[in-house]
Structure 1
Amino acid sequence: MANLRQELEALGFTVLAEEHREPSDTVDLLGAVWLSLNAVIPPDDAPSLPRPPGRARWLLRCALLIAAVPALALATALDRLPLKPLAGRGKVSNAYRVVARCDATARPGPR
């Protein structure tokens, strides 16, 4: 939160309020697995690719994603069963809300 507040202030925003809450849903492990898979499985299309991928690359991505379904199901089960009761305990939370006002006159150029 401190990093977010610092960055907002550097961009010319004034933080008016912040709120920390218990997570309403535990999907951290599932999200981590999905992002990891997406990082290693070849993209089916991206603006940074030198040329659009062909059908073979699309089929490869589909096959790898289908093969990853057990890992995604396991991550979902672990998020729901052993991790859900632990969510929100202690002072750590993955959910927060920030309300900030843009001070247009103080706002620097693009970063």
Structure 2
Amino acid sequence: MHATPRVGNLAIDCADLGAMATFWGGLLGMKVTYRKDTWLDLEPLGAEGPVLSFQKVPEAKSGKNRLHLDLYVPDVDAAGARARELGGSPAGGRQDRPDMSFQIWRDPEGNEFCLVTRK
């Protein structure tokens, strides 16, 4: 019998753990729960996790993410303003569809994520 795996961590490679903690912790309203020289965890994403983690790596990001977070927000523009305050930058314009509005953003190290408002 095989046990079904559970996602425990979503780990993002980065160069600056402090900058990522400030950006993602500020954007998501989450505190750092664990930190070592090359690893940092924020609070779990929901009651059962997973934990959003950051791993310090020597190489810079190159290319497009193969995995990204879709962050559901009440207002794409207001959430974008907050992301910009924390050091994020838009990666494109706002897209409006009948069922949602969204915009692709980058964190301070260039990792893409989407701000999404469902209609």
Q: Same fold (TM over 0.5)?
A: no
Higher relative contact order, structure no. (Cα contacts within 8 Å, ≥ 6 residues apart)? 1
State TM-score, norm by structure 1. 0.27
State TM-score, norm by structure 2. 0.25
Structure whose residues are more often helix by fraction: 1
Structure whose residues are more often strand by fraction: 2
Larger radius of gyration: 1
